Amino acid sequence: MVIILKKGAYTEKDYISPSYINLNNPKYLEIDGFYYSGLIIVNYYREYDELILKTLMETNVNMNISIFYEKLNNINAIKELTYNIGNVGLELKEGKENRQDIDIALFSYNDAKYIRKEIQINGEEIYYLYIYLNIFSESKEELEKNLDKIEALLQSKGLQTRRANFRQEQLFLSCLPLAENNKDLKSVAKRNILTSGLVSTYPFISSSIFEESGIYFGNNIYNNSLVLIDRYNTDKYKNANMCIFGTSGAGKSFYTKLLILRNTLLGIEQYIIDPEKEYNKLGKNLNGTIIKIGPTSNNYINIFDIRKESIEENEHGYLATKIGKLIGFFNLVFGEINEEEKGLLEEKIIEVYKNKGINFNDKTLYKKRQFKTSKDMPILEDFYNILNDEKTKKFKIKLIPFIKGSLKFFNNYTNIKLNNKLIIADVYELGEDNLKYGMYLFTDLFWDKIKINRKIKKAIYLDEIWRLIGVTSTKEVAKFIYKIFKTIRKYGGSSVAITQDISDLFSLENGTYGKSILNNSSIKTFFSLEEENINLLSQYSNISEKEKIEIKSLRRGECLMFVGNEHILINIEASDFEKNLIEGEI
């Protein structure tokens, strides 16, 4: 037997209609397994200095809110107000009421005079205001708990409420997007309000960010709303730079890996300096390139390389640009050098390039119309061999580990290729004392890579950045890192500073470079920090006293984010699949 259903037997209305509605209880409705109960705001403070619904919006209680404004005729309103003013004024004059009634009448008398003046003199309009709340939950117990919570919250803000018992259906319909203010509720909810007062009822005031082209960061802790941010949005943010601060175990590393994962899905080029060997598993799962430098590695980078992309097209000065970077590297190796020593080193650098046929004429960097390769450049040993006079002897001694000792892997020609959108620089094997050399080497390499194409979005992550701009570094290196944060925007890029050592971050030059990088980051993320670090951080950023307390009490995976001018508490969220990718279990 074949049953044929005629076209139109099941309409669009049937798709969106609930399967059942239970109206038997006067205190709530039951619709498809959810319980709904309504509140009517029936009275307000006479004056407000903040938004009425702000606290309500920041709760995590499920509710629908409906606000109706009904404009009155000013002429009729003035007539009615004048009539009431006359009647109440007469009663006050005659003093026929008891003392309590006289006070109430006096309030009404002054309010009426004020409203009439605002309408007649200041051009205000008068409205009726109606606000309904429809709270819903999957259980009656939770519904009752949430009703009590919202009633107490509103009462603390001077808002008097009444439950819509025996009128639950009418309130439910008034909270649907039908723009119908049910007449059975209007007489209870109606209150006067002037145009200037309407501002305080503005509902869209929750500190949430939802940008359609952004990536998902997590949920607003207060109201559970989604937070999506597009940090490359140049119309909204002055740059795409980020700072990520937090103690060990607060969730800082997981958050960073989550950003890398989600940006990978968007095709963004990403370069990570990894001093703690934290990103290798993620890199492997995302088919990224992992470059390791250390005693057991066969990867080499020549510090003396001059790369074609180190300056932009139509610009000049390859060797001059490279000398500045080399002075920064040798500052790390030799310690802070004075101007005389800097001049000596520059002279020797020029000489070692001259021996390879390279000088300040950019044409000397080409061979048969092709840019010279790493094999055509000097290496550290070439530089070491020309440090023969008495003035440069101490430099030669300090270079011995790089030429003949434990760091001789720095003395080689570059043999790596950067042809992946995700590249992780593993410098863990260098050890605590030598990490800064590898971090600087890769930062220089990645910076040249970033400058190739301005149209492509890219990001460089500097984990444990304090090593490059803190007291263990030098002014020359810190200036180079600051330059990256200041100028990467024009190359379509984003710099991300990550650290748990706040005191070290601000230890060089009285915190000048740490402060500059903080101020040149449109997005700042603070995970849980110790009080000492919070107080130090507050000296360099606009953290309020309330936010200091919040940062200290944050749980693992929670953070306070400064996104442009917005300050928002977020719970970082990830799917099980993302967690498995990050933790290397796939």
CA gap 389, 493 in Å, rounded: 44
pLDDT in tens, 247-284: 999 999 999 999 999 999 999 999 999 999 999 999 99
Q: List the chain pLDDT tens, one digit each, 586 residues.
A: 556 655 656 677 777 788 889 999 999 999 999 999 999 999 887 766 667 787 777 777 899 999 999 998 888 878 877 877 777 776 666 665 555 566 666 667 777 777 787 788 877 888 899 999 999 999 999 999 999 999 998 988 888 999 999 999 999 999 998 889 999 999 999 988 888 788 788 776 555 687 888 899 999 887 778 899 999 998 899 999 999 999 999 999 999 999 999 999 999 999 999 999 999 999 999 999 999 999 999 999 999 999 998 988 778 899 999 999 999 999 999 988 889 999 999 999 999 999 999 999 999 999 988 999 999 999 999 999 999 888 899 999 999 999 999 999 999 999 998 889 999 999 999 998 899 999 999 999 999 999 988 999 999 999 999 999 988 888 889 999 999 999 999 999 999 999 998 888 899 988 899 999 999 999 999 999 999 999 998 888 888 888 999 999 999 999 999 998 888 899 999 999 999 999 876 5
CA gap 18, 29 in Å, rounded: 12
Question: How far apart, in Å, are the Cα atoms of 413 and each of 272, 300, 356, 363, 365?
Answer: 22, 6, 14, 22, 16
Do 435 and 275 meet the contact criterion of CB atoms below 8 Å apart? yes
Predicted local confidence at residue 242, as pLDDT: 96
CA gap 207, 211 in Å, rounded: 13
Do 259 and 215 meet the contact criterion of CB atoms below 8 Å apart? yes
CA gap 98, 85 in Å, rounded: 19
Sign of CA dihedral 175, 178, 183, 187: positive
Half-sphere exposure for 465 (CA within 13 Å, toward CB) = 31
Residues of the chain by 3-state class (helix, strand, coil), percent to 5 = 45, 20, 40
The H or E element spanning position 250 is none
CA gap 519, 241 in Å, rounded: 10
pTM: 0.72
Predicted local confidence at residue 19, as pLDDT: 87
CA angle, residues 419, 450, 444, in degrees to nearest 5: 95
Predicted local confidence at residue 213, as pLDDT: 86
